[in-house]
Amino acid sequence: MPVNFEGIREFARIAQDPQELVRHARGNIELWANLFVIGWAVAFMLWQGFGFAVIVGTVFAIWAILAVSLNLVVGFTGLLSVGHIGFFGLGAYTMAILTSDPAYEQLRTEAIPTFGWPFFAALPVCIGLAGLTAVLVGVVFNRFRDDIFVLVSFGFAIIAFNVFLNLRSVTRGAFGIHEIARPEIGGWVFDGEVEFLLLALVFLGLVMLVSWFITTSSFGRVLTAIREDEQAIEVFGYRATHFKLAVWVISAMMTGLAGGLFASWTTFIDPNSFILLESVLLVSIVILGGLATIWGSLLGAMAFVLLEEGMRFIPYLPTEYIGQARQVVLGILLVLLMLFRPQGLVGRYRL
């Protein structure tokens, strides 16, 4: 996609006249959503200080990678997947098992095999394993659409969670895996929060770049056509199933990358990070931000992360219920969006 010079020229023309600008801004939900979320982010940074913002920023980056990758499937191809948390967990567990410290592992009862690899050696394995699983899952799931696809993707998330929880000889079940390595390049360890944030942002940029290439290429146009009318694009000689499988695998690989990053960031994982609810929240982020736009996913992830912080302003709300209150707000937001704005805040595609 070339840069939209027309739009910029149009904006420059409008911006010359303040009255025109106001008239243009009124009722423009996209503009207000952008202004609101970004303004909120800036205000939050000023309020809480840089250090806290860095941690929130890393959370944002990981959610954003997830949202961007899921948007490829949900927004651009029109398959509402609630199962991506499975790939996320797969990436995280691969990273955990490959990089966790074997010396530490020997000290624990029921030692599980760990390898002590460096982060950057394990990351491709995370991506590859997620992709491989996605091929297997995708071949089965490819024939389902709409409601039934939602159901089977729920199923994938639950099966994955069951594996993480119950395959104790590999994942150590509910006890989780400790001492996951932080990334390092040539002796320089990304152990500070700022360094990790930068790394996460670099990966986010890469993921965005890849999905930008995908969505603006002819491949992406076929995906959009599949979303609009699968039978029509098959008439033109495109094998819809192959395209769907390809984008499913690419999206799963990106999710696996996010999983690896997440495991390395928290240095401890257990199955509770990969419950079905997280997957539902992820889908809500994508829908909230906007379907079929990369920027929408970023906006959704940012709004989601900031929503939690915003909840602290509500009086009489005990701190332990902040997550739940956010969930209530998110649920109500989803209902309102579906009523009035089925494409999400800045979306290009109505569900």
Partner 1 sequence: MASNRESARGLPRLINVPGTRLIAALLTALALGYIAWKIGQAPPQALQFAFNGLAVGAVYALLALGFTLVYSTVWFFDLYYGAAAALGAYGVFYLRTDPSLGSRLDINSIPVNVIFGTVVAGVIAWTLHTVLEPRLRARASPTALRTGVALVAIAMGIYTAIVLSYPEHLHLTLSPAVGLATAAVGIVIAQKVAHEAVSTANSTLVALISAVPAAALGAWFGYLLFGTPEAGLYLSWGVSCLLAGCVGLALYRGLYVYMRERARSPLIMLVASLGILLAIAAFIVIVFQSAPRPLPDAFGSTPLNIAGARIKGFNVFAIGVALAGFAGMWFLLKMTSFGRAVRAIGDDEEVSKVVGINTTVIIAVVFFIGAMYAAMAGILTGHDTAVQPRMGLLLLLKGWIASVVGGIGNLYGAIVGGFVLGLVEQFGIWDLAGEWKDAISFVLLILFLSFWPRGLLPRR
Query: Distance between CA atoms of 173 and 1, rounded to whole angstroms?
Result: 46
Instruction: Show the beta-strand stretches assigned E in 133-246.
Output: 184-185, 188-189
Which is nearer to partner 1, 59 or 158 (by Cβ)? 158
Q: Site for partner 1 (CB under 8 A): which residue of 14, 45, 55, 150?
A: 150
Q: Site for partner 1 (CB under 8 A): which residue of 15, 135, 277, 314?
A: 277
Structure tokens at 46: 């000023």
Q: Does 170 bind partner 1 (CB under 8 A)?
A: no
What spatial distance separates the first Cα and last Cα of the chain, rounded to whole Å? 23
Q: Does 152 bind partner 1 (CB under 8 A)?
A: yes
Which is nearer to partner 1, 118 or 310 (by Cβ)? 310
Cα-to-chain-centroid distance, residue 17: 39
| Tokens 């651009």, located at residue | 76
Q: Does 333 bind partner 1 (CB under 8 A)?
A: yes
Which is nearer to partner 1, 20 or 146 (by Cβ)? 146
* Contact present, 202 and 61 (Cβ < 8 Å): no
The angle at the Cα of 211, spanning 246 to 269, to the nearest 5 degrees, equals 85
DSSP annotation of 182: P
Q: Site for partner 1 (CB under 8 A): which residue of 162, 216, 217, 272?
A: 162
Q: Does 155 bind partner 1 (CB under 8 A)?
A: yes
Query: Distance between CA atoms of 183 and 190, rounded to whole angstroms?
Result: 6
**Closest distance between partner 1 and the C-beta of residue 265, in Å?**
25
* Contact present, 89 and 260 (Cβ < 8 Å): no
Stretch that binds partner 1, among 1-9, 30-38, 114-122, 278-286 (CB under 8 A): 278-286
User: Of all helices (H) and strands (E), which one includes residue 122?
Assistant: helix 119-141
Query: Distance between CA atoms of 262 and 60, rounded to whole angstroms?
Result: 11
Q: Does 148 bind partner 1 (CB under 8 A)?
A: yes
Q: Does 110 bind partner 1 (CB under 8 A)?
A: no
Which is nearer to partner 1, 247 or 282 (by Cβ)? 282
**141 Cβ partners below 8 Å, 6+ apart?**
149, 152, 153, 156, 248
From 26, 82, 64, 81, select the one nearest 293 (Cα to Cα): 64
Q: Does 85 bind partner 1 (CB under 8 A)?
A: no
**Closest distance between partner 1 and the C-beta of residue 339, in Å?**
6
Q: Site for partner 1 (CB under 8 A): which residue of 166, 216, 217, 272?
A: 166
Q: Does 210 bind partner 1 (CB under 8 A)?
A: no
Which is nearer to partner 1, 53 or 291 (by Cβ)? 291
Stretch that binds partner 1, among 100-108, 120-128, 152-160, 243-251 (CB under 8 A): 152-160
**Closest distance between partner 1 and the C-beta of residue 143, in Å?**
4
- CA separation (Å) from 223 to 42, 91, 207, 226? 36, 25, 18, 5
Stretch that binds partner 1, among 100-108, 123-131, 256-264, 270-278 (CB under 8 A): 270-278
From 265, 275, 252, select the one nearest 91 (Cα to Cα): 252
* Residues engaged in binding partner 1 (CB under 8 A): 80, 140, 143-152, 154-156, 158-159, 162-163, 165-166, 275-277, 280-281, 283-284, 287, 321, 324-328, 330-335, 338-339, 342, 350-351
